[in-house]
Structures are given as structure tokens and as C-alpha cells.
Structure 1
Amino acid sequence: MTQDVWLPLPPEEIKGLPEGPNYLFWDGGRQEFPGDPADCAVYVVPYMRREPVKIRPLRAMTGLRVIQTLTAGVDDITANLGLVAPGVRLCNARGVHETSTAELALTLTLASLRGIPGFVRAQDEEHWQGVFRPALADRTVLIVGYGAIGSAIEDRLAAFEVERVIRVARSGRTTARGAVHPFTELPALLPEADVVILSTPLTDETRGLVDAGFLARMKDGALLVNVARGPVVDTGALLGELAGGRLTAALDVTDPEPLPPGHPLWRAPGVLITPHVGGPSSAFRPRAERLLVDQLTRFVNHEPLRDVVLTTGA
């Protein structure tokens, strides 16, 4: 029996897709579906679409066996698993976004420390004014969420002569680079960091992790960089610290998101905002295609799938 695979990239543009499935293109940009959702066995979730678009066909996908995201985070899908029958494997896109997201984390860090937003505004006004700014060199950087993206961020920090990298994840462990501390040790570690980079998934444990207490423990003048998910940070608590000028922030993600016009974060002092662009870069497409070819080959050959986050009903 032929099984449908819904792809958010045109299948004819992806070299190496295995034979067998019936590939249908749906990127969420049109209202009509490419086929009967009940015939879909593998649903590759449209990329860079809002949650209502991503989940719209799920209830009707009664024959679904695999949900494959093209994002590292899967919180928008896990929040809607009530729409999915038992036995469906949910897989994330580990290996697709590490390069691009780590690049942006370093871009935000360097731009904030060196005052690039101020220089851009001065350029608009044709105003030449040199200032003395902190460097990334000789700083202590704390990475909260030391998975594939956190590790990729440390790869890139190595070239900038940082004094120390502190690694924190949900559970502690030892790596070739050194210790990874558990979340329980964050209160003692935060005062040591000049830069705190968030790259953790959004879960019940991490939602609101960066609250008033977390921020209060950060040292005066520290920089908070968020390339994780907006709700990891308590926006109200962050606004309080920014208003007082004690901390600065660089945010690729916000809560709410998209950030609406008139929101106080837009004009808060010491904040740099990018519109959730950690993943979408020229690095995305080739890595996404390699993931899909490998994963679908595994599916067709009845081999174990990569990066299974959970199986519904298990």
C-alpha cells in the first residue's frame, strides 16, 4: 500500500529521496491540503509557520506514523499531542540548526558587547563617535542548555579567547571539555558569568526558568542572550532589570512572539532584538534535505529513526 509523505520542500528538489512513498508538497502556505490527511504516514511539519498552521491537519491524520519537525524545539507539537493517535513517533531536527543558531548566538553576543546597534544608529545620523566597549575576550560565558546547539556555541567561542565556559544542562555529566552542571547549581554559577547564553528547549522545567530570582543573581553589567524560546524568560522580570540598566540583553526569541508593535521590549534600554532568525539561513536547506533523505530512507527500510523525542501514548 502506497503511503503519503507530506513535505514542506518540493520533493523534486530533494536529491536522494527513497522510492516507495507518494511525496506530496505542503508548506502551509495554501489552505487546501495536497491530499487526504488520512493517507499521510509521515508528516514533515512546515517550517517557519505559526502553530495553528502546523497543527491544522493533525486531527485528520488518522494513519500517521511519524511527525518530523524541521526545528530543534518541538514544543508547539507537544502542546497539541491530544490531536494525535497513539503510537506516532515525534522526531526533531537535531543536526539542522546547530551551525546557524550558534552563529547567531555569537553575532548577538559580539554585537551587544561591542555596541553595534549604537553605531548603526550613529551611522544613520552621520555621527562619528568612538567609545570604549567590552570585548568577549577574557570573559566568562555560561551556556544554559548544553545539547547540540550549546556545544556548537562553545565550538565558536573557542576562537574568541574567552576566559571560561560554564556548561549547564537539565542533568549533570562529564564531557571531553569538562563538567556539565545540572540546573540545580545555577544559583551558585550565575554570579560568575559575564555572558549567559540560553539554548535550552522549552519544557515544563524551563518555562519561566529565567525569572526575577535568576536575573537578580546575574552579576552587574552581565549580558543575557536568548536563542532558545521566548517563554524561557519572564519578560516582565527582564524589563525590570533592563529599565534599571543593571543588565543588557540580546534576544532572538521573545514572549510574546511575534513581538507586537508598542511592546515595551522594543524600546527597553540595552536590548538587541532579532525576529527569531536563529535557524533560517543558507545553512538550513542543505542540512534539512540531508536529514529528510536519511530519515525517510530509514522509514522505508524499517530501520530505527533518528532523534525520536517521544512516541505518543507511550
Structure 2
Amino acid sequence: MTIEKTIVLISTEVDDMVAHGMFRQLDDVEVVGYDPAARRLDNMQRRASIFVPPYRGTNRPMALMEQLPNLAMVQITAAGTDEWVNAVPDGVVLAGARGAHAGPVSEWVLSAILAQLRQWPTLVRYQDKNTWAHRKFDADTLRGKRVLIVGAGSIGMATARLLDAFGANSTLVASVARDGIHGAVELPALVSGHQIVVITAPLNDATLNLVDKDFLAAMDDGALLVNAGRGKIVDTDALVEELRSERLRAALDVTEPEPLPEDHPIWKCTGVIISPHSARTVPGTNALCYAVAVDQVRTFLAGGVPSNAAVRPC
């Protein structure tokens, strides 16, 4: 008796080819490739019940779900599932790659903090002018700083471990309090007194515009805001006003809107450094994402609910 294999649809772009071999290690799985830029799927591709969007530009092939009548699971490589959660059909499991990004993103957070404290943007501007800038600016140290980390998932926890190695003191906040971690209801009382605020929380109804005018006003003078979560968590207009006044500084890997238009006022704020949503983008991160994805799909095929499931079966 021939057992019909579960077809997993995986992108054929360069960053996704590593996934083909990894998914073939699963029992009773047939890997079928597809082009994320294609508008139509062929007959074989349409038979897929598990859809894996590409590592880069994850939401590009979102419309292809309409051509998958047997769709049962969507497994993305991003940590956050907010862009997909309302697009996945009812009854289809949606799972992310939470956990895979902790190393690269926490490293970006640390580098962004150190770049701002040690005034590397200022140094580069002096360097561009061929100026030896000895004693022309004030650098700062991370040691002894109090850091508020909003989002105590894998990225937030990894960030806290790195900060601890540099002698900083972290305060972690999650949606619900647990041992050693504050709950979100405590957040308004925690903002003041921290020299650095790091956002690693996911985007949802509770975190949309969480960092608004009042939140920013509560931050200490001279404090640094680091956003490695989602752009919509921060009120960009309110942040621009604080940056223009030079009361706060920022380091942003995500923005709202994204990408930033060329004429957006935040580009001209000297107290901010911006990376183009690339905190996770280092060699090997794609393989880390797909290792988590394979584990999530394995659980699903065994009849379980993946630990990273954002949309669970009805």
C-alpha cells in the first residue's frame, strides 16, 4: 500500500535552498519548490498542504495561498507573525520561527547600544571631514547602565544575557509577569530611571503604538530608545519630536512607515541610527530559521500543535 506523502511547498530562491534538504529529512514528506515571484502555481504545487514563505520578503507570495485548496499549515521564517495572522484562512495553522533570531538580533541590539554610547556616528562624521576629533565629544560606557527590555521572549532574554556580560542591569517586561520578569501592567511605572529602553516585543493590539508621546516623555533625559521589534510599536512622529529636541537618542532596525521614504524627517535627526530591518541578516540565520521551521512542521505532522503557532486549528 502506497502512503501519500505530505507536500511541503518551499521557495527555490538561494536563501531557501538549504531548507529543501532539511525538510526532506522528515518522514513521508515530499518537498516541492516554487518561485515566490510567480503569480500562478502548477498542478503539483497546488497539491501542497504546508506552505513555507521565503526567508527574504516573507509576505511576497501571500496571495498564492488562494491557490492551495488543501492548505493546512503556513510556516514562516520570521519571528513575528503579525503580517500573516489576518491573511491565513480559518482553520489553517500559522507558525513562526521564534527562537531562531535570538542570537543575531540580540547582537544587533548590543552593537547599536555601543555605537550610540561610544558616539560612533559622530566619529564617522568627523572622519568624513578628515578631522582628528580628540576631546571633541563625550563618549559613555554601558557598564552600570539600567536597561529596560520590553519583550521577554528569546530575543529579549538573549539581549539581557549580553548586557549582563557588559555590566549593565536589565529589567525585563513581558505581557504577563513571571519569576524575575515584570508584567505589562507595570510598564508605565518602570520607564523612568532606565538610561536605555529596548523594544523586542511582538506587534499585537497591546503593543501597537505602545511607545507613544507619553511613554517617550517618561524616559529620562538623554536616554536611548532601541527598537528591534516592529516599527508600529513606536509612534514615529512623537519620536521625531524628541529627537529634534535632542532630549532622546534612538537606534532603529524597524520603522513606521517601512521602508522610510527619502523625504522622511527622521533621516535628518542626528541623534538616531537606522538599519534597514536587517538585524537578523547575517550568514547562517536562514538555516537557523529553517531548523526551527522543520521542528514546528514535525510537531504538526505528528498531530501536535507547534509551540510557535500563532493561529491554531479550529
* TM-score under structure 1 length normalisation: 0.90
2:291 partner SS = helix
Structure 2 vs 1, CA of residues 224 and 29 (structure 1 numbering), >3 Å: closer, same or farther? same
Deviations along 1:280-312, whole A, 9 cap, x unmatched? 212413312322333344344445533222225
Q: Is the 8 A contact 1:27 1:46 kept in 2?
A: no
Structure 2 vs 1, CA of residues 209 and 194 (structure 1 numbering), >3 Å: closer, same or farther? same
Give the superposition deviation at 1:158: 1.3
Q: Is the 8 A contact 2:9 2:45 kept in 1?
A: no
Give the superposition deviation at 1:267: 1.1
2:107 to 103, 106, 114: 103
- Say yes or no: does 1:64 pair with 2:64: no
Alignment of 1:175-186 (within 5 A): 178=180, 180-186=181-187
Alignment of 1:76-115 (within 5 A): 76-81=83-88, 84=89, 86-115=90-119
- Say yes or no: does 1:20 pair with 2:20: no
Give the superposition deviation at 1:27: 5.4
- Corresponding residue number in structure 2 for 1:172: 177
Q: Is the 8 A contact 1:6 1:24 kept in 2?
A: yes
Deviations along 1:1-22, whole A, 9 cap, x unmatched? 3332111322555376224222
Q: Is the 8 A contact 2:174 2:184 kept in 1?
A: yes
Q: Matches of 2:233 and 2:71 in 1, distance apart? A: 31
Deviations along 1:190-226, whole A, 9 cap, x unmatched? 1111000000000011010000000000010000000
Unaligned runs of 5+ in 2: none
Alignment of 1:25-44 (within 5 A): 25-26=33-34, 28-33=36-41, 38-44=46-52
Give RMSD over aligned pairs: 2.0
- Corresponding residue number in structure 2 for 1:217: 218
- Corresponding residue number in structure 2 for 1:291: 292
- Corresponding residue number in structure 1 for 2:308: 307
Q: Is the 8 A contact 1:106 1:153 kept in 2?
A: yes
1:126 partner SS = coil
* TM-score under structure 2 length normalisation: 0.90
Q: Is the 8 A contact 2:93 2:312 kept in 1?
A: yes
Structure 2 vs 1, CA of residues 151 and 259 (structure 1 numbering), >3 Å: closer, same or farther? same
> Which moves more between the two structures, 207-216 or 36-45?
36-45
1:165 partner SS = strand
Unaligned runs of 5+ in 1: none
- Corresponding letter in the other structure for 2:173: V
State the number of aligned residues.
304
Give the superposition deviation at 1:276: 0.4
Q: Matches of 2:270 and 2:151 in 1, distance apart? A: 26
Alignment of 1:189-200 (within 5 A): 189-200=190-201
- Corresponding residue number in structure 1 for 2:81: 74
Task: Report % sequence identity.
Answer: 35
Q: Is the 8 A contact 1:24 1:35 kept in 2?
A: no
Q: Matches of 1:54 and 1:252 in 2, distance apart? A: 23
- Corresponding residue number in structure 1 for 2:133: 129
